[in-house]
Amino acid sequence: MNTLIEWLRPWEPSAPVFIACALAFALYAIGMMRGARPGFWAATSYFLGVGLIYVVTQTHYDYYSQYLFSAHRLQHLILHHLGPFLIALSMPTAVLAAAMPATLRGLPQGPMRPLFSGLGVIYRILQQPFIAGFLFVGLIYLWLTPAIHFNAMLSLDLYWFMNWTMAVDGLLFWWLIFERGNHGVTPRLTPGRRILVLALVMPPQIALGAYITFSRQDLFDIYDVCGRAFPISPMLDQQIGGLITWIPASMMSVVAAIIVLAFRLEKTHASQSRS
């Protein structure tokens, strides 16, 4: 029992992360109680995505993320890939909107319209396929630049900044890939363009993962100088981290491409049934 409580206790409590996860859970639940019917799989996907992000940041798992390179790579796989992937796959907009009071939903058309218009322009720029892909891969490279990685793991503020950028960018990217339903602010790409973006972000991730896996030098000495969570060979830790950066991260592009194709086939089938 004590062990479970110890595991559930955050290693580095972060109010913004806790509030964001609690709000994400609560709003979706309220939306469902107010009549939104996302379906079992969509709701499961959403809660699992938010839950995974919470677990890797606000439980004892975070301790391992800070003192083991391989655990850190798994944390970022969830923050940047799996968690946002599952959230975006569930397309929660309608459920979250149902949870919002009418006054909040009307804000973009009210007196704050210029502010929302400006944010919309920035959002659409960030969601241009080339920029979105560049940011998606660029952030992985940025935070894995050894000197930057050293600083990010040393400074608590930079550590949270790094994790936030990964989660937010993951949401932006996967949202662009899985966007469907009613037209919103997000640019709607054709299935072909979505698959092209997914294909383009794969090789740089494979190259980086392979470079880390096969490197013969200890690239991330922060884990050596600050102590590891438990005794493990630095090179083995680095190799496992490299493999996580390489294989599951790029495999998610393949899974996403299959899902995009499935959505396309489903749409074709539905329109044929109607005609």
Partner 1 sequence: MQASLGLKSGFALALVLLLAGCGGSGYQTKGIEGLLPELQFDLTAETGERITEEDFYGAPTVMFFGFTHCPDVCPTAMARIAAAIEASGAEEADELRVLFVSVDPERDDLPKLARYTDFFSEHVTGATASIPELRELTKHYRVTFGYDEPNEFGDYNVSHPSVMYVFDAAGEPRALFRPSDSIAAMAADLRRITRG
Distances (CA, A) of 57 to 46, 52, 177, 220, 224: 17, 9, 25, 21, 22
Binding test (CB under 8 A) with partner 1, winner from 187, 228, 234, 264 = 228
Q: How far is the CB of 146 from partner 1 (least distance, A)?
A: 9
Q: Quick one: 154 or 265, whose CB is closer to partner 1?
A: 154
Binding test (CB under 8 A) with partner 1, winner from 36, 94, 100, 158 = 158
DSSP3 helix / strand / coil % (the chain, rounded to 5): 80, 0, 20
Q: Does 215 bind partner 1 (CB under 8 A)?
A: no
Q: Quick one: 120 or 234, whose CB is closer to partner 1?
A: 234
Q: Quick one: 229 or 255, whose CB is closer to partner 1?
A: 229
Q: Which two tokens mark 38?
A: 């996302």
Q: How far is the CB of 158 from partner 1 (least distance, A)?
A: 7
Binding test (CB under 8 A) with partner 1, winner from 182, 225, 270, 271 = 225
Q: How far is the CB of 67 from partner 1 (least distance, A)?
A: 5
Q: Does 63 bind partner 1 (CB under 8 A)?
A: yes
Q: Does 138 bind partner 1 (CB under 8 A)?
A: yes
Q: How far is the CB of 1 from partner 1 (least distance, A)?
A: 19
The dihedral over CA atoms of 143, 240, 202, 184, expressed in degrees to the nearest 10, equals -60
The contacts found for 261-268 with CB under 8 angstroms, 24 or more apart, are 261/191, 261/195, 263/178, 263/180, 263/191, 264/191
In whole angstroms, what is the distance from residue 244 CA to residue 71 CA? Answer: 9
**DSSP secondary structure letters along 125-146:** HHTSHHHHHHHHHHHHHHHTSH
DSSP category for residue 109: G
Q: Does 121 bind partner 1 (CB under 8 A)?
A: no
Q: Does 185 bind partner 1 (CB under 8 A)?
A: no
Q: Does 156 bind partner 1 (CB under 8 A)?
A: yes
Q: Does 131 bind partner 1 (CB under 8 A)?
A: yes
Which residue has 């790094």 as its token pair?
162
Name the site residues for partner 1 (rule: CB under 8 A): 11, 63, 66-67, 131, 134, 138, 142, 145, 147-148, 150-156, 158, 221, 224-231
